[in-house]
Amino acid sequence: MIQVNKNISLLEYNTFGIDVSAETMVVYDSVDDLTELIHHSLCNFPKPILHIGEGSNLLFLEDFRGTILRSNINNVNVIEQNDDHVIVQVGAGWNMDDFISYSISKGWYGLENLSKIPGQVGSSAVQNIGAYGVEVGDFIYSVNCISIADGTYRKFSHDECNFMYRHSIFKSPEYRGKYVVTSVEYKLNLDFTPHIDYGGIRQQIDLLGETPETLSAQKLRDIISNIREEKLPDPKVYGNAGSFFMNPIVDRDTYNKLVSCYPNIPKYEIDSNNVKIPAAWLIEQCGWKGKTVGHVGVHPKQPLVLINLGGATGKEIQNMSDTIRHEVLDKFGISIIPEVNFI
Ligand code: FAD
Ligand code: EPU
């Protein structure tokens, strides 16, 4: 089925809670519906075309005068299974966290640390979502797509996806907006090996009287869910899109120079040449933690998250983001790049 709506409010379709509208929204249920749409009627709909998921990483700056596409494809098929792993194809319209819960119930492991990240399965591949030491790209076998231009099918292998920190080929200038992800094939383990080295997880395991040997995938999911609930604001209370900025990656020389001025500057090791600096720390040092300007705030527990205090416009949030970026650049000489997609 294909549903077409005109002049639709996007309030329910973006977690920042920005009150804008779209000229047209088209929701489709299957790959056949999508290809039919592209072959027969999409050319008559207003442009530009934007495919969205749950709108949890979008910032609308104004009403969208074009056509929004949304997927309701929610099938799941096992493609291959042996003693060691399963390859499972999941429709792009499934909620990612529902799939993680489902995969744990089936005894398919690997995605536990990504529990409770908002958004759809299709976007998980576009964004290469990550949390608590795991990136979804590590578990993506391939991504099935349809070209928006002519409705042709293309499968992107894991290597072609070019997954990097919060990046994939689908975000590159050459491919952005050109393909609709229709399903993602995840390669998951049948043995559970917990990833527990990221800050705070081991401590929680100890508090529960568990050990890495007794810990189940469901318990790890619960621990991650609790840590996230503690740190991140609920978009239903304060509109937000998670981390507004990515954590900057700098070379070791730059980091060493910063250490001489700021001995406490934290880092995560990336490789022998590069380290990642928590943008939250840079923003806090500039005095922004908990600060508010008009309808926009910097989350008091996590300065990487900008929040809509109620009634904020996309432009107000963009203005605060610009000011923070300038101040971090002036103080530290580091450019912090938004993770959020400005529309
Ligand atoms: P949208 O925001 O709707 O779209 C994101 C991008 O994907 C857009 O460019 C869109 O055009 C494209 N897209 C969507 N669907 C398709 C499709 N089928 N085909 C092609 N392109 C498509 N992210 C993390 O990585 N780690 C976190 O820990 C994390 N925590 C968060 C916590 C909160 C409270 C919130 C609100 C967000 C958080 N995020 C996190 C960000 C967000 O959840 C992810 O970026 C998520 O993948 C976005 O999914 P979505 O379905 O909402 O996509
Ligand atoms: N920090 C501060 N002040 C604060 C909070 C944090 O200085 O008030 C510093 C501390 O040094 C802390 C460090 O920031 O150790 C890291 O904080 P945290 O563990 O909360 O992680 P993060 O870097 O802020 C990243 C991701 C999150 C992901 C978590 C957990 C990015 C941009 N963000 O946040 O992803 O959930 O790690 O893995 O990489 C998202 O992308 O939307 C997102 C929420």
Residue 199, pLDDT above cutoff 80: no
For residues 219 and 51, what is the distance between their CA atoms, to the nearest angstrom? 35
For residues 107 and 97, what is the distance between their CA atoms, to the nearest angstrom? 15
Note the pLDDT of residue 285.
Answer: 98
Note the pLDDT of residue 21.
Answer: 98
Average pLDDT of the chain is: 97
* DSSP-derived pairing of the beta strands 140-147 and 306-308: unpaired
Choose among 127, 187, 132, 202: nearest CA to 161.
127
Q: What is the pLDDT of residues 266-284, one digit of tens each?
A: 999 999 999 999 999 999 9
**Annotated catalytic, 243?**
yes
User: What's the whole-number mean pLDDT along residues 222-228?
Assistant: 96
* DSSP-derived pairing of the beta strands 274-276 and 134-135: unpaired
Cβ of 199 below 6 Å from ligand 2 = yes
Q: What is the pLDDT of residues 293-319, one digit of tens each?
A: 999 999 999 999 999 999 999 999 999
CATH 3.30.565.10 is right for the domain spanning 249-342: no
The class (CATH top level) of 2-71 is alpha beta
Structure token pair of residue 92:
């792009």
Note the pLDDT of residue 200.
Answer: 85
Domain boundaries, given as residue ranges, for the chain: 2-71, 76-231, 249-342
Note the pLDDT of residue 292.
Answer: 98
Note the pLDDT of residue 153.
Answer: 98
Q: What is the pLDDT of residues 159-197, one digit of tens each?
A: 999 999 999 999 999 999 999 999 999 999 999 999 998
What is the enclosing helix (H) or strand (E) of 55?
none
Point out the ligand 1 atom lying closest to the alpha carbon of residue 126. 7
For residues 101 and 306, what is the distance between their CA atoms, to the nearest angstrom? 28
Q: What are the residues whose beta carbons fall under 8 Å from the beta carbon of 253, sequence distance 6 or more?
A: none
Note the pLDDT of residue 198.
Answer: 87
Q: What is the pLDDT of residues 5-38, one digit of tens each?
A: 999 999 999 999 999 999 999 999 999 999 999 9
Buried b (16+ CB within 10 A) or exposed e, 11-49: eebbbbbbbbbbbbbbbbbbbebbbebbeeebeebeeeb
In the chain, the amino acid numbered 96 is M
Residue 106, pLDDT above cutoff 80: yes
Q: What are the residues whose beta carbons fall under 8 Å from the beta carbon of 275, sequence distance 6 or more?
A: 249, 250, 252, 255, 267, 268, 269
CATH 3.10.20.740 is right for the domain spanning 76-231: no
Neighbours of 330 (CB within 10 A): 9
DSSP-based three-state secondary structure for 301: coil
- For the question of whether the overall pTM of this predicted structure is more than 0.95, the answer is yes
How many whole angstroms from 55 Cα to the centroid of ligand 1? 7
Closest ligand to the CA of 168 = 1
Question: Counting beta carbons within 10 angstroms of the beta carbon of residue 175, is it exposed (0 to 12), middle (13 to 18) or buried (19 or more)?
Answer: middle
Q: Rounded to the nearest 10 degrees, what angle do helices 217-231 and 96-106 cross at?
A: 160
Q: In whole angstroms, how far apart are CA 269 and each of 218, 249, 250, 255, 330? A: 29, 10, 10, 11, 24
**Annotated catalytic, 339?**
yes
Q: What is the pLDDT of residues 59-93, one digit of tens each?
A: 999 999 999 999 999 999 999 999 999 999 999 99
Structure token pair of residue 229:
């609930």
Point out the ligand 1 atom lying closest to the alpha carbon of residue 171. 9
Catalytic hit among 166, 210, 225, 327: 166
Note the pLDDT of residue 249.
Answer: 97
Point out the ligand 1 atom lying closest to the alpha carbon of residue 129. 25
For residues 256 and 260, what is the distance between their CA atoms, to the nearest angstrom? 6
DSSP-based three-state secondary structure for 221: helix
For residues 151 and 33, what is the distance between their CA atoms, to the nearest angstrom? 11
Q: What are the residues whose beta carbons fall under 8 Å from the beta carbon of 89, sequence distance 6 or more?
A: 75, 76, 77, 78, 79, 144, 183, 184, 185
